[in-house]
Amino acid sequence: MNPTERMLRACRGEPVDRPPVWLMRQAGRYLPEYRRAREGVPFLEMCRRVDKAVEVSLQPLRLLGVEAVILFSDIFVPVAGLGVAVDFEPGPVVRDPIRSLDQVAALRTPDPRESVPFVMEILRVLRRELEPTKVPLLGFAGAPFTLAAYLIEGRGSKDFATLKRMMYRAPEVLRALLARLTEMTVAYLNAQIEAGAQVVQLFDTWAGLLSPADYAAWVQPSHLEIASKVERVRAPLILYVNNGAHVLDAMLASGADVLSLDWRVDIGLAAKRAGARASLQGNLDPCALAAPAERIAQLVREIADAAAPARGHVLNLGHGVLPETPVGGVRAFVEAAKALPVRGPS
Amino acid sequence: MNPTERMLRACRGEPVDRPPVWLMRQAGRYLPEYRRAREGVPFLEMCRRVDKAVEVSLQPLRLLGVEAVILFSDIFVPVAGLGVAVDFEPGPVVRDPIRSLDQVAALRTPDPRESVPFVMEILRVLRRELEPTKVPLLGFAGAPFTLAAYLIEGRGSKDFATLKRMMYRAPEVLRALLARLTEMTVAYLNAQIEAGAQVVQLFDTWAGLLSPADYAAWVQPSHLEIASKVERVRAPLILYVNNGAHVLDAMLASGADVLSLDWRVDIGLAAKRAGARASLQGNLDPCALAAPAERIAQLVREIADAAAPARGHVLNLGHGVLPETPVGGVRAFVEAAKALPVRGPS
Interacting residues of B217 by C-beta distance below 8 A, sequence separation 6+: none
Average pLDDT, chain A: 96
User: B3-7 contacts: CB < 8 A, separation 24 or more?
Assistant: B3/B67, B3/B68, B3/B133, B3/B134, B3/B135, B3/B136, B4/B134, B4/B135, B4/B136, B4/B198, B5/B134, B6/B67, B7/B67, B7/B68, B7/B136, B7/B198, B7/B199, B7/B314
Bridge partners (DSSP) listed for residue B201: B140, B238
Q: How confident is the model at residue B110 (pLDDT cuts 50, 70, 90)?
A: confident
pTM listed for this prediction: 0.96
Cβ atoms B247, B231 nearer than 8 A: no
- The pLDDT of B208-230, averaged and rounded, is 98
Within 10 A of B342 (CB to CB), how many other CB atoms are there?
10
Contacts of B324 in chain A (CB under 8 A): 161
pLDDT of A180 higher than 90: yes
Closest alpha carbon within chain B to A210: B264
Closest alpha carbon within chain A to B213: A266
Contacts of A169 in chain B (CB under 8 A): 290-292
- The pLDDT of A83-98, averaged and rounded, is 89
Closest alpha carbon within chain A to B285: A211
Contacts of B332 in chain A (CB under 8 A): none
The string of pLDDT tens digits covering residues A294-323 is 999 999 999 999 999 999 999 999 999 999
- Give all domains of chain B, ordered by start, each with its CATH number: 3-338 (3.20.20.210)
Cβ atoms B75, B147 nearer than 8 A: yes
Bridge partners (DSSP) listed for residue A241: A204
| Pairwise CB contact (< 8 Å): A266 & B212 | yes
| Percent of chain A with pLDDT strictly greater than 90 | 94
Contacts of A211 in chain B (CB under 8 A): 263-264, 266, 285, 318
d(CA B110, CA B116): 9
Q: How far away is chain B from the Cα of A165, in angstroms, using its nearest Cα?
A: 6
pLDDT for the residue B186: 98
Q: How confident is the model at residue B346 (pLDDT cuts 50, 70, 90)?
A: low
The string of pLDDT tens digits covering residues A198-235 is 999 999 999 999 999 999 999 999 999 999 999 999 99
| Pairwise CB contact (< 8 Å): B164 & A290 | yes
The string of pLDDT tens digits covering residues B88-103 is 887 889 999 999 999 9
- The pLDDT of A102-130, averaged and rounded, is 96
pLDDT for the residue A129: 98
Our CA angle for A26, A312, A57, nearest 5°, is 20
* Nearest one of A127, A134, A141, A116 to A197, comparing CA atoms: A127
| Percent of chain B with pLDDT strictly greater than 70 | 100
Rounded (10°) CA dihedral A147, A151, A156, A158: -90
- Residue A124, H or E segment: helix A117-130
Average pLDDT, chain B: 96
| Pairwise CB contact (< 8 Å): A291 & B168 | yes
Q: Which of B6, B9, B18, B25 is catalytic?
A: B25
The string of pLDDT tens digits covering residues B205-214 is 999 999 999 9
Bridge partners (DSSP) listed for residue B282: B315
- Residue A313, H or E segment: strand A313-317
The string of pLDDT tens digits covering residues A26-53 is 999 999 999 999 999 999 999 999 999 9
To test the contact with chain A by mutation, choose from B283, B287, B294, B296 the residue with the greatest count of A C-beta atoms within 10 A, namely B287
Q: How confident is the model at residue A346 (pLDDT cuts 50, 70, 90)?
A: low
d(CA B251, CA A53): 45
The string of pLDDT tens digits covering residues B165-211 is 999 999 999 999 999 999 999 999 999 999 999 999 999 999 999 99
| Pairwise CB contact (< 8 Å): A168 & B290 | yes
> What's the distance, CA B88 to chain centroid?
19
pLDDT for the residue A88: 84
- Residue A180, H or E segment: helix A171-194
The string of pLDDT tens digits covering residues B42-67 is 999 999 999 999 999 999 999 999 99
pLDDT for the residue A211: 97
Q: How confident is the model at residue A59 (pLDDT cuts 50, 70, 90)?
A: very high
A103-107, B281-285, B341-345: the lowest-pLDDT one:
B341-345
Cβ atoms A201, A69 nearer than 8 A: no
Contacts of A245 in chain B (CB under 8 A): 245-246
Cβ atoms A123, A139 nearer than 8 A: yes
The ipTM of this complex is 0.94
In angstroms, how far apart are the furthest CA atoms of chain B?
58
pLDDT for the residue B132: 97
pLDDT for the residue B89: 80
Q: Report H helices in chain B.
A: 3-12, 32-38, 43-48, 50-64, 101-105, 112-115, 117-130, 144-153, 161-169, 171-194, 212-218, 220-229, 248-252, 267-274, 293-307, 327-338
To test the contact with chain B by mutation, choose from A242, A264, A295, A317 the residue with the greatest count of B C-beta atoms within 10 A, namely A264
The string of pLDDT tens digits covering residues A71-85 is 999 999 999 899 998
Interacting residues of A328 by C-beta distance below 8 A, sequence separation 6+: A293
Q: How far away is chain A from the Cα of B184, in angstroms, using its nearest Cα?
A: 28
The string of pLDDT tens digits covering residues A118-160 is 999 999 999 999 999 999 999 999 999 999 999 999 998 888 9
